[in-house]
Amino acid sequence: MRVCVIGTGYVGLVTGACLAHIGHHVICVDNNEEKVKLMKSGQSPIYEPGLSEIMQSASKDGKLEFTSDLAGGVAHGEILFIAVGTPALPTGESDTRYVEAVAKGIGAHLNGGYKVIVNKSTVPIGSGDWVRRIVLDGVAERQQSLVTAGGATTEVLPENHAQFDVVSNPEFLREGSAVYDTFNPDRIVLGSNNKKAIAMMQELYIPIIERQYAEDKSLPPVPVVVTDLSSAEMIKYAANAFLATKISFINEVANICDRVGADVTEVAKGIGLDSRIGGKFLQAGIGWGGSCFPKDVSALVHTADDYGYEAHLLKSAVSVNQRQRLIVVEKLQQVLKILKGKTVGLLGLTFKPDTDDMRDAPALDIIEHLNRLGAKVKAYDPIVAQSGMRHGLAGVLVETDPERLADGCDALVVITEWQQFRQLDYAKMSSLMTNPVVIDGRNFLDREAVETAGFRYVGIGR
């Protein structure tokens, strides 16, 4: 099928490349010319395992194109994905101005033929109908522009030029495994009250529904949840809010474990074996960050407030999470007493491993707090060292390898559970430190191994 994806960020680019990989002809539109140039040269502007390979092969097959020309993209696609960012405003509500700009742009370029307009971006509940109205505003503005001052029409639009329906198709992609998650989804959610639009979306996803690109092709077909627009939008928010709350729950348990001498990793294993709970998302530590959980949970709380309901549970999950980041600083103070003038080395900076994303990364709050307490902060992160990215890292000495990081440090803090941190030479690192202590902010290291290497080990709830 002919597809246009507008917005080539973590979601749009992965969606476009994967749809091209399964045989559709995809044009990706982005208003950032630099990005378009980079993608045309076969490079991915984001770090996502497996993405650049499928981008290059799909582009070579002529199935994947990149442009900043929205009109061309809209003319090409029978299915148009809106995948621009919906960041959180300071008030906590979603900033939907990019979605509005793109929806209006689509309306202004509809040129005939029925189209399905898909909300891939996470948009506030009830936005589906709002997007419809914005698209129609774009259509009206264009019609207006074709009428001269004297009332003559300079161009007659084809009869069916504004035939479209809006579908909500929320994404559940985890950064660092977005390509894998696209080909191995637990479910596909489609929200619309139009049968034709739903049918076209199901046709689009057939290869994925039939597990043709799945790791385990013997699994039954992917369940497709077909519902109304608002329920589909709510499924996205409720899923993220539940996962975020589950993490804050285990972090609360970890904080109690710290005080009673229990081991939260054993507790997580013990409760996770209950099929009603499940073992995933029970890793206690410095909590959640990234471009989704913080923004989506606050957007849901904001929506509840808008409709006169106070979401106490979600607000508590947020406040537990905010406080959780600073627990590693409290533990540093317990160990080092005075932090002023001390040197602290951070192992990892990104909000999770296998991504280059620093958006709302816990590291940013921890750095700010340590600086405020007068500590000198050094850091090593595999991606940051490689990319030289400096977002939010003013005042941080970013080292190019873990041993240079350890040299002269009073303490190390594990911020991101990069797999390679399991294989470091901790004996060498402890010999380079004045006070070999490690605060394991992700309960990730092998406690015995680092203690044998000469470190004092401090975990979160263990």
Active-site annotation, residues: 292
C-alpha span between 182 and 11 (Å, rounded): 10
CA-to-CA separations, 334 to 205, 264, 405, in angstroms, rounded: 54, 20, 22
Minimum CB–partner distance for residue 157 and ligand UDX (Å): 24
Nearer to ligand UDX, 15 or 430 (CB): 15
Nearer to ligand UDX, 186 or 216 (CB): 186
220 contacts: CB under 8 Å, gap ≥ 6: none
C-alpha span between 380 and 401 (Å, rounded): 6
439 contacts: CB under 8 Å, gap ≥ 6: 328, 331, 332, 335, 411, 412, 413, 414, 458
List 3, 4, 5, 10, residue binding ligand UDX (CB under 6 A): 10
Helices and strands per DSSP (H, E), number in the chain: 18, 14
Site string for ligand UDX, 329-368 (x = CB under 6 A): ----------------------xx----------------
C-alpha span between 329 and 369 (Å, rounded): 8
Site for ligand UDX in 153-192 (CB under 6 A): 171-175
Minimum CB–partner distance for residue 134 and ligand UDX (Å): 13
Nearer to ligand UDX, 9 or 345 (CB): 9
Residue at token pair 């476009």: 16
Using CB atoms within 10 A of its CB, is residue 81 exposed (0-12), middle (13-18) or buried (19+)?
A: buried
List 47, 130, 249, 288, residue binding ligand UDX (CB under 6 A): 288
* Sole window of 7-15, 299-307, 335-343, 374-382 interacting with ligand UDX (rule: CB under 6 A): 7-15
Number of residues in contact with ligand UDX under rule CB under 6 A: 41
Nearer to ligand UDX, 44 or 122 (CB): 122
- Backbone φ and ψ for 413, nearest 5 degrees, come out as -130, 125
Which among 413, 426, 434 has a CA at the least distance from the CA of 453?
A: 426
Per CB under 6 A, does 18 bind ligand UDX?
no
Site for ligand UDX in 30-49 (CB under 6 A): 30-32, 35
154 contacts: CB under 8 Å, gap ≥ 6: 146, 147, 148
Minimum CB–partner distance for residue 2 and ligand UDX (Å): 19
List 5, 7, 253, 257, residue binding ligand UDX (CB under 6 A): 7
Minimum CB–partner distance for residue 265 and ligand UDX (Å): 11
Nearer to ligand UDX, 122 or 343 (CB): 122
Nearer to ligand UDX, 280 or 340 (CB): 280
Contact of 119 with 82, CB cutoff 8 Å? yes
C-alpha span between 192 and 226 (Å, rounded): 8
What single-letter amino acid sits at 107? G
Which H/E stretch holds residue 378?
Answer: strand 376-380
C-alpha span between 218 and 394 (Å, rounded): 50
List 18, 179, 241, 292, residue binding ligand UDX (CB under 6 A): 292
Minimum CB–partner distance for residue 64 and ligand UDX (Å): 16
* Sole window of 80-88, 214-222, 259-267, 378-386 interacting with ligand UDX (rule: CB under 6 A): 80-88
List 3, 5, 11, 118, residue binding ligand UDX (CB under 6 A): 11
Site for ligand UDX in 85-144 (CB under 6 A): 85-86, 98, 101-102, 121-122
What does 183-198 look like in DSSP terms, one character per residue?
HS-S-EEEE-S-HHHH
Site string for ligand UDX, 229-258 (x = CB under 6 A): -----------x--x---x-----------
What does DSSP assign to residue 113?
A: S
Nearer to ligand UDX, 291 or 303 (CB): 291
Residue at token pair 């001390």: 342
Nearer to ligand UDX, 174 or 447 (CB): 174
* Sole window of 77-85, 153-161, 218-226, 419-427 interacting with ligand UDX (rule: CB under 6 A): 77-85
Helix (H/G/I), strand (E/B), else coil: 87: coil
CA angle 158, 162, 163 (to 5 degrees): 105
C-alpha span between 290 and 350 (Å, rounded): 8
Nearer to ligand UDX, 154 or 275 (CB): 275
Minimum CB–partner distance for residue 276 and ligand UDX (Å): 17
Minimum CB–partner distance for residue 199 and ligand UDX (Å): 25
Which H/E stretch holds residue 264?
Answer: helix 264-272
Residue at token pair 């019609």: 143
* Sole window of 1-9, 145-153, 210-218, 379-387 interacting with ligand UDX (rule: CB under 6 A): 1-9
Please tell me the total number of residues recorded for the chain in this structure.
462
Write out the residues near ligand UDX by the rule CB under 6 A.
6-12, 30-32, 35, 83-86, 98, 101-102, 121-122, 171-175, 240, 243, 247, 281-283, 285, 287-293, 351-352
